[in-house]
Structure 1
């Protein structure tokens, strides 16, 4: 791939995790420079996850015995063809039903809220964002010390992205517990006092890198995995606004 924009088929292949490592890295680098395209690809990847969650269980469902009995009662020579047709028909019914259920009112997949990183991030936001006097352990005035300390404890390189373009300033951060050992929490605030948190933890076995969206404890969460670390941006702002901030965070982490 050259410096030109990848075509849509390549972007879809990226969203479906169908590219070789070298090609995937080149597409990821291009997406990092093109936030709108990155948002589109993240949306495709999320849809892929939702479809798999809704449809994969249908593949394991047995055909209704009553349907099989009626097929077997027919002519033996055509039974195999009828069984195949019935299987296809039954799968189509299941897929269509799953599609309708999964798209009612455009709701996010609430099962994602059970992900450990989402639970950790939502709980950390609920506990620390309301704090007035002690929201963080180390303030933004000690930024270098903060990121060095958290990087050492979490076991990966951590930076504190600049979110001024979205109206949020770094307050500071703290060390917290996560589902996989020490975790880092960076807190940001806008002029009205509204806060966002960026939760970072080590993800030993994770391979998913695409943005995923969930709602937990009355807040929205965008999370993803990049190398050995998992990230979750959490706040009470609308999904589209939070996604824009999440893209800026990703770009800051992958210059």
Structure 2
């Protein structure tokens, strides 16, 4: 059986231009030998060129946002730590946001932008570990109306193949349409030491729900657990060395129903 590979976007005698090539081009990390091929491809595919321009504009905004942090001196306690390979700008920005911004603050910002109040929810236990990171990632990305995901549901197989390859284990997007949630797409996020996956779903009323999948889990049982960070409610569990977290502003009963269905579809065997 052939190794799973990212679905190609282009064709021809030269190696096909892939989604990864487009991201590398937008992040200015494309190998020089591929630059001319990708530019030729973009010239012939205006829709893909528009996507890349959107990413580049996002990169520029993130650079402006992070410039004050970049110019600060390195704290003495961190100066001698070994340097790791750099993430692309979007991954770097996401890691900084997820490390430093609380989900409650992110939802407050959403409310300020949309001039609406977050729905009242019952208080839940405080989140920690991957469940808290899942809540923050949900709060950061789910309000984005224009580009909430990196790869859309129209390229679901390419998305699953890409995430599986990057995470080093099979990753799947559960089918939640019977529960009223259609797949929007997904993205790769930086975890503490390894990549994590986020799938996003949308309901007909505009609500969004995310599934966070990580291999960065400690010793834990498979029991469902519930917690809350700001306006984000989360059901999470550990199964077969994977951590799963369902995040949304839906109530506890709704999240429990979705979590049980995701567990049913993703459990081994």
Name the TM-score class by shorter chain: 0.5 to 0.7
1:171 paired residue number: 184
Following TM superposition, by how much is the alpha carbon of 1:151 offset from its aligned partner in structure 2, in angstroms?
Answer: 1.4
d(CA) in 2 for partners of 1:248, 1:174: 21
Find out whether 1:161 has 2:174 as its counterpart. yes
Corresponding residue of 1:90: none
Q: Distance in 2 between matches of 1:220 and 1:189?
A: 16
Give the Cα separation in 2 of the matches to 1:119 and 1:193: 23
User: Where does residue 136 of structure 2 map in the other structure?
Assistant: 123
Q: Pick from 101, 105, 108: which aligns with 2:124?
A: 108
Could you tell me how far apart the structure 1 residues matched to 2:230 and 2:190 are? 18
Deviation, structure 1 residue 126: 0.9
**TM-aligned CA deviation for residue 205 of structure 1:** 3.0
Greater relative contact order: 1 or 2 (C-alpha under 8 angstroms, separation 6 or more)?
1
Partner of residue 142 from structure 1, selected from 155, 160, 169: 155
**Paired positions, count:** 147
Corresponding position of 1:185: 198
CA 1:149–1:206 in 2, change beyond 3 Å: closer, same or farther?
farther
Contact 2:234 2:245 in 1 (8 A): yes
Structure 1 154/200 Cα, relative in aligned 2: closer, same or farther at 3 Å? same
Report the Cα offset of residue 207 of structure 1: 3.1
1:107 Cα offset (Å)? 5.2
Contact 1:120 1:179 in 2 (8 A): no
SS of corresponding position for 1:157: coil
Change (3 A) 1:222 1:238: same
Matched, 1:151 2:164: yes
- Scaled by the length of structure 2, the TM-score of the pair is 0.52
Q: Structure 1: which 5+ residue stretches go unaligned?
A: 1-105
SS, match of residue 189 in structure 1: strand
Deviation at 1:234, TM superposition (A): 0.1
- What secondary structure is seen at the aligned counterpart in 1 of 2:143? coil
In 1, Cα distance between equivalents of 2:214 and 2:232 = 19
Q: How far apart are residue 250 of structure 1 and its match?
A: 0.5
Matched position secondary structure for 1:173: strand
Q: TM-score, normalised by structure 1?
A: 0.55
Q: How does 1:19-98 map to 2 (within 5 A)?
A: none
Q: Is the 8 A contact 1:180 1:201 kept in 2?
A: no
8 A contact 2:194–2:216 mirrored in 1: no
* 2:238 equivalent in structure 1: 225
Q: Counterpart of 1:207?
A: 220
**Other structure's SS at 1:252 match:** helix
Stretches (4+) displaced over 6 A: none
Question: How much does 1:154 deviate?
Answer: 1.7
Deviation of 1:204 after TM superposition, in Å, equals 4.9
**1:165 shift after superposition:** 1.3
